[in-house]
A = this chain, B = another copy of it.
């Protein structure tokens, strides 16, 4: 924020625009204009739009994982073999809120990034994320599975993504949804409440007994 800090301003503005409009919909012109810097500055500092996206992403993902890992380790240090699923989900929610608490854009950027990674043919982005963050998430996932209903790897993989879908969709569309739903009040409080509301739902989903029979119901 001192002494010009062009790169920082770009990062900040880009995050805000990405959150609001999405990656593809946000143009370099918008970013640089709003940041009050030269059009070429993004390419100078980040190389390309794609690398800017990655830079913004790192800004949010790294602290999130650091925070989550730390919370988990602290809790595990307290002892007790299994940790209640609801507590774990809450842990994740708190980590999400924490990283968002500062910029208000983190969650939206985060979820748009997942959308981008899962959608199209962005194999490169998937690899980048998997390489960089996949491992660090392992311990948390192990702990989650320990208190879920018993199920094979396949089932667990898919359930994880069902939940991920709930989170991503809700966060992605939070602004729109809270405008639609009758929920009034300041957005800061609301987001917390919504995440809180998800906790029992997600936990129940993970603990639902897995179907074992193969039943073709069409």
Contacts and interface: CB of A to CB of B under 8 A. Distances in A.
Nearest to A211: B200
A32 interface: no
B208 A201 contact: yes
Given A158-B181, A200-B209, 18 more contacts: A98-B218, A154-B181, A157-B181, A158-B170, A158-B194, A161-B173, A161-B177, A162-B202, A165-B168, A169-B169, A199-B211, A200-B210, A201-B206, A201-B208, A202-B205, A203-B208, A204-B205, A204-B208
Interface of A: 21-22, 24-25, 90, 94, 97-98, 115, 118-120, 126, 153-155, 157-159, 161-170, 172-173, 176-177, 180-183, 192-194, 196-211, 214-218
Nearest to A118: B173
Contact of A155 (B197, B199, B210): B197
Contact of A201 (B115, B159, B173, B182): B159
Number of copies: 4
Contact of A218 (B97, B197, B217): B97
Contacts of A173: 118-119, 161
Contacts of A155: 197
B94 A218 contact: yes
The residue among A98, A155, A193, A201 with the most chain B CB atoms within 10 A of its own CB is A201
Given A154-B183, A216-B192, A22 B161 contact: no
23 contacts: A21-B120, A25-B120, A90-B217, A94-B218, A118-B173, A119-B173, A119-B176, A126-B176, A154-B183, A158-B181, A158-B183, A158-B194, A159-B197, A161-B173, A162-B170, A165-B165, A165-B167, A168-B169, A169-B169, A201-B205, A202-B205, A204-B205, A204-B208
